[in-house]
Structure 1
């Protein structure tokens, strides 16, 4: 039974029913975090080689690293948000179609008045 659900899941990816982009965005996010932190550490140690920058250069490097991490996170969240909105809309569509099917089934049942008139 597990093979059928696993096959269905992979078929969903091949048929574009499920997206791989959110996973890739998360992977790219973590690579970006590593790059930003590495650049921040490099910039931090580079300011010690330039005595004219002083403590202001060190603080500027730290603030720039933190702001870069924050903006990177925000950009990645916005990309993932688009896919989450789509997923919620699909859920709403499915719920509404099930509701419509139940309403149609309810309408097909004859009422008591209709039975008494016959």
Structure 2
């Protein structure tokens, strides 16, 4: 039974050969990125409105925002890396199965007769070795 490409892809998703988590992780990453930027801007504007001189608070807010973005990126990359490893292992499995199929086909076909050598007789015409 042959399926179209879209149906075959759908069945691969059902069998979890292809995962949707990497897409969701990237989506959550961008939502978190925007939230961190928004929180950093909110804290920065709050520091500007404060009655206490805020040069140190402003620099700490900018530094904390940048550090938060870096840590958020690292966490997201670690999660995506795990799923990329899964995808690579699936590719390796498929390549090895194709290679195994090819070697089985090669083994089932006998070599041509002209490649087969005749074994040398153990004795010459006089019966000596």
Equivalent in the alignment of 2:127: none
Please provide the CA RMSD for this pair: 2.0
The structure with the larger Rg is 2
For residue 16 of structure 1, give the secondary structure of its aligned residue in structure 2: coil
TM-score calculated relative to the size of structure 2? 0.79
- In the aligned structure 2, how far is the partner of 1:44 from the partner of 1:108? 73
If each structure's helix is expressed as a fraction of its own residues, which one has the higher value?
A: 1
- In the aligned structure 1, how far is the partner of 2:10 from the partner of 2:31? 26
TM-score calculated relative to the size of structure 1? 0.85
Q: Which segments of 5 or more consecutive residues in structure 2 lack a partner in the other structure?
A: 120-129
Equivalent in the alignment of 1:28: 28
Contact map agreement 2:17 2:90 (CA 8 A) in 1: no
- Number of residue-to-residue matches in the alignment: 114
Question: 1:96, CA displacement in angstroms?
Answer: 1.2
Matching of residues 61-80 of structure 1 within 5 Å: 61-80=61-80
Structure 1, residues 7-62: CA drift from partner, whole Å, max 9, x if none?
22222222222111011101111110111011100110111233435201100100
Q: Which segments of 5 or more consecutive residues in structure 1 lack a partner in the other structure?
A: none
- In the aligned structure 1, how far is the partner of 2:75 from the partner of 2:81? 10
